[in-house]
Amino acid sequence: MKKYFNISVILLALTAFTACDDYLDVKPSKSTSLTIETGEQLNALLNSYTTYYLEESPWLINASDDQRCDTEMFEITGSSDCPGYSTTSLSYALWDTDIIPELTDENWKHEYLKIFYANTILEKADKVSGLSSQERDQYKREARFIRAISSWYLAQVYCEPYVPGNENKQGIVLKSSTDFGESVKRATLKQTYDFIEADLQEALKIETPFQKIGTTNRWNSVRANKAAVNGFAARFYLYLNDYEKALNYANAALNAHNQLVDYNTEMKVMDSPTTVTINGKSETIILPYTYEGGANSVNERMMEWKEMTYFRMQEDNNWWMMPSESLLALYDKTYDLRYKYHFIPNYSFINTISTPLMGYVFWWKDRIISGPTTAEMLLTKAECEARLNRVSEAMTTVNKLRAARMDKNAPANVINLSASSAEDAVKKILEERRREMPFVRRFMDIRRLNSNTESYDDVGALTKSFYAFSLTNIDKNSKKTYTLEKNSDKYACPLPKTEFEVSDFVIDQNIYK
């Protein structure tokens, strides 16, 4: 069965661009033809950050060992009060590749929508009026950057890691035009990563500085810039285990921008504590100022976060990131200011659950930075230096980050990490990486660490203990241990079943043994 619908495009005062639906599913029609005739319209499309900034995979948040999933928490919360224990969320948390294809997956659709917009810009840049040749090249490079990021993100979610031996495994559907007749057959992993790398290399020609906008405190993070493209390149090559290239690009990103948010002086709690009433009693919840805003909102403070060089955020549709015991154990609870500001001991009160339970908060209930940041670049640089046996340099690098995250009154030997060997340095830097970027990078890191050539950094199998369940029922009479083996093909999230149907089964599902 084929699905037919139209893409609607609205340009409002040349400042907003919205569209709907997944162009992998669209059949050509007169109404799918976009009328873009001026460079001003293309500029508006590039400025439409709400079109691009959210990453929406529930797989990445729920599937890792950062997210708590156990029967004790379930018994306290009850699935009716806690969306993290709905059968939908459990399907991702417990790697159920049979149930997941039956679920609605907005992530696949929305990332391909971003790619459609990028391809629109690429096709129109040389045809519209009002642009210089330099501007045309700039817009095309920005579009290649958007396409590279979305293609890479899709590969991290729906494909197995790209390591020797996996070259011919299933990649993503490569879309290089707005032609609805273009093939939707999945490429190989090698073809996928070659495609992304070609886009990235074009984007790396962008020289726009990362800087504040006029006299405001906002940064130009919604558009591609030198720090951002080099930051993404550092990430790209780190996940390919090419430590020399990752180090070079991390250095380039830091040379373009190296400011950190100092949690000693620049982080704070909300001016007014949040108060809720539970069982007739008033309860106070102390939240970081980054919580302010609300659902589906983008506020000024997000744009003022000077570490984030490109504005992308991972969404948690549960609205409750529940830190696991293994994650919490990594923090110095006396001196680590990340623990102080981001881990809320009675976050459960927001969900009217009277038992105080921990929640992780960054931006409101549902968003955490996923775009390149100064902190990520320092961690990438430090890890690469350690893996290249430059131990002293690695520890100096990682300690620059810790100086901005640890209480300045902590003893020096608490603030500063030390290492006795390259292996020791890598392990400590990886722990710091998990502390700095929980939930948003952890599952991707598990994939790469379990599949690279070193064994000392392996995370190994993930195990979670929970009840047997189906999409419609949780069986509290049957407890099970769920395991994701180290080299499992289940590190790739299943594609939504709807994609096979609308493509007449040209798109293939991942193969699970």
Q: What is the pLDDT of residue 190?
A: 98
Residue 163 has pLDDT above 50, yes or no: yes
Per-residue model confidence as pLDDT tens digits over 87-100: 999 999 999 999 99
At residue 29, what is the residue type? S
Burial of 75 (0-12, 13-18, 19+ CB in 10 A): exposed
Write out 22-85 in H/E/C secondary structure.
Answer: CCCCCCCCHHHCCCCCEHHHHHHHHHCHHHHCEECCHHHHHCCCCECCCHHHHHHHCCCCCHHH
DSSP state of 348: G
DSSP state of 288: B
Q: What is the pLDDT of residue 18?
A: 35
Residue 33 has pLDDT above 70, yes or no: no
**What do you get for the CA distance between the two ends of the chain, in Å?**
28
Show the CA angle centred on residue 180, arms to residues 177 and 181, nearest 5°: 100
Nearest alpha carbon to residue 228 among 190, 257, 202 = 257
Range list of H helices, 360-474 = 374-387, 391-405, 412-415, 422-436, 442-451
Question: Taking the complete model, does pTM exceed 0.75, yes or no?
Answer: yes
Nearest alpha carbon to residue 380 among 341, 429, 422, 415 = 429
Burial state string for 322-357 with b = 16 or more CB within 10 A and e = fewer than 16? bbbeebbeebeeebbbbbbbbbbebbbbbbebeeeb
Nearest alpha carbon to residue 60 among 107, 15, 9 = 107
Phi, psi of 64 (to 5 degrees): -85, 175
Residue 322 has pLDDT above 70, yes or no: yes
Query: 506 is written with which tokens?
Result: 């040209």
Contacting residues for 418 by C-beta, under 8 A, at least 6 apart: 395
- Cβ 137 vs Cβ 155: under 8 Å: no
Query: 83 is written with which tokens?
Result: 């969306």
- Cβ 264 vs Cβ 408: under 8 Å: yes
Residue 21 has pLDDT above 80, yes or no: no
Per-residue model confidence as pLDDT tens digits over 409-423: 999 999 999 999 999
C-alpha to C-alpha distance for 32 and 502, rounded to whole angstroms? 17
Beta bridge partners of 467: 479
Q: Radius of gyration (Cα) for the chain, nearest Å? A: 23
Classified as helix, coil or strand, 434 is helix
Higher-confidence residue of 433 and 317: namely: 433
Query: 2 is written with which tokens?
Result: 């084929």
- Cβ 151 vs Cβ 176: under 8 Å: no
Nearest alpha carbon to residue 187 among 501, 508, 487 = 508
- Cβ 325 vs Cβ 72: under 8 Å: no
Residue 31 has pLDDT above 50, yes or no: no
Q: What is the pLDDT of residue 79?
A: 59
Q: What is the pLDDT of residue 78?
A: 67
Residue 323 confidence class, pLDDT cut points 50, 70, 90: very high
* DSSP string for 92-153: HHTT-TTTGGGS--HHHHHHHHHHHHHHHHHHHTTTSBS--HHHHHHHHHHHHHHHHHHHHH
CB atoms within 10 A of CB 446: 23
Q: What is the pLDDT of residue 80?
A: 54
Per-residue model confidence as pLDDT tens digits over 243-301: 999 999 999 999 999 999 999 999 999 999 999 999 899 999 999 999 988 777 888 89
Nearest alpha carbon to residue 247 among 256, 236, 257, 258 = 236
Q: Strands, E, within 204-357: which ranges?
A: 274-278, 281-285, 313-315, 343-344
Q: What is the pLDDT of residue 502?
A: 84
CB atoms within 10 A of CB 110: 19
CB atoms within 10 A of CB 295: 9
